[in-house]
Amino acid sequence: MAEPTVSAGYANALIDLAVAKGADQRLLMEHSQIDTDDLADPDHRISFDKFKRLMRAGKALSNEPALALHFGEAFGFEELSIVGLVCHAAETMAEAFAQMNRYGRLVIEVDGVGAEDRFQIIQDDDGVWIDDTRKNPNSFPELTESTLGRFICGVRRYFPNAPFVLEAHVTHAQPDHVAEYERILNVPIVFNSVKNAMRVDPSSLTKKLPHPNRYVFGIFSEHAEALLDNLESSKTIRGKVESMLIPVLHKGDISMKVIAQKMGLSRQTLYRKLKTEGISYEKLLDELRHQMAQHYLRGEKVSVNETAYLVGFSDPSAFSRAFKRWTGNSPSVIRSAKSG
C-alpha cells in the first residue's frame, strides 16, 4: 500500500494530551516534524511516521511512559473523527463494529491493512476474539496500547456494568508501566502472545447502543463515504497529480515535466504510471479543468471569465469552446440556470 497516514484531528488530540501532561508543544512539533498548518483541518492527512515520532516525543517530553494508554482512555472516536460519530449513531454494537472497520482508515491507516477489515472476529475453543490484524505491531506497541484503551474504556462508558473484554493478548513484552495496564484496562493481560487480540463476551456484540439515530447515522455515513473516496483516490497516481494541479491550474501552462519533477519522477515514468491507470496526462488535465469549471460555476461565486482564468484559460472564448465540448452547453447557460 502507499505510505499510511493519520488524520490531523487524531494527531491534534494526542498533542493536546501530551501538552496537558507537561510536554512543550513547540518541541513536540519540532521532534515530530509536523507543521502547524497541517493540523488546521482535522481531515487533513499526516504521515504515519510523523505520528509515531509525535507519540514517542510526547512520552519523553511529558515523562509519561503510559501516554498511549492514557490516549486510548481519554478520547473516544466520537471526539476524534467522523468515524466515532457514525459508530455512536449505530443501533447495535455489531453495527458500530462494522462501521469502525469500514471507516477506521479515516482516523489511522496501518501497515499491511488496506481496504480489508483490520479487526476480525474469530471464534476458537477459548471463545470469541477480536483480532487486530495489522502487520509488524511490535514496531509501534504504543498503537496496541491506545487501541486497547479506546476499545475497553470506550465500551465501558456505554455499558459500565456489563462485561465486554474478558482478557487481552499483546505481542510485545511487559513494559515497566504494567500497573497502568491494570488500572486503565482492568482485565487480565497476556504479554509476549502470538497475537494482538481481545477475548470478548459474545453477548456484548448484540447489545443495542443507548442513543441510535438513523437520520444522523445516514448523514454521518454519507460524509464518511466522501472522505473515504478522497482518501482512496489520493493513493493513486492520478489523485496525486490532481492534488498538485488544482492549486496551480490558473497558471495555464502546467507541463507534465514540471509535475513529474515535483513528484520526484521523470516525465517518462509519470507517463507510464498514468498509463497503467488507464489515462494520459492530457486527458487527466482536460477532465480536471472540466470538473473544476463545473465546481466554480455552480458555486455562483465567480463569473464565467473568472472561471476561465481559474482553470487555466487566458482567452475566455477558448474556455467557452472547451466548455461546450465538455457539456454541449456554453458556460453562461450553466451559470444562469444555477442562478435562476
Task: Give, in degrees to the nearest 5, the angle at Cα 110 between 109 and 113.
Answer: 100
44-53, 203-212, 328-337: which has the highest mean pLDDT? 44-53
Q: Which domains does the chain have, with CATH numbers?
A: 236-339 (1.10.10.60)
Residue 230 is placed in which grid cell? 478522497
Distances (CA, A) of 15 to 1, 10, 212, 281: 27, 9, 31, 40
| pLDDT tens sequence across 207-266 | 888 777 776 667 767 767 777 777 766 677 888 888 778 878 887 668 999 888 888 889
* Strand duo 5-7 + 197-200: pairing: unpaired
Mean pLDDT, to the nearest integer, of 124-134?
92
Whether the CB-CB separation of 185 and 168 falls below 8 Å is answered with yes
Whether the CB-CB separation of 171 and 137 falls below 8 Å is answered with yes
Where residue 334 falls among pLDDT bands split at 50, 70, 90? low
Q: What is the pTM of this model?
A: 0.66
Amino acid at 91: E
Where residue 102 falls among pLDDT bands split at 50, 70, 90? confident
Give residues with Cβ within 8 angstroms of 78, minimum separation 6: 84, 85, 87, 88
> Judging by beta carbons within 10 Å of its beta carbon (0-12, 13-18, 19+), is residue 68 exposed, middle or buried?
buried
| pLDDT tens sequence across 27-42 | 999 999 998 888 888 8
Give residues with Cβ within 8 angstroms of 153, minimum separation 6: 72, 73, 76, 184, 185
Supply the pLDDT for residue 2. Answer: 63
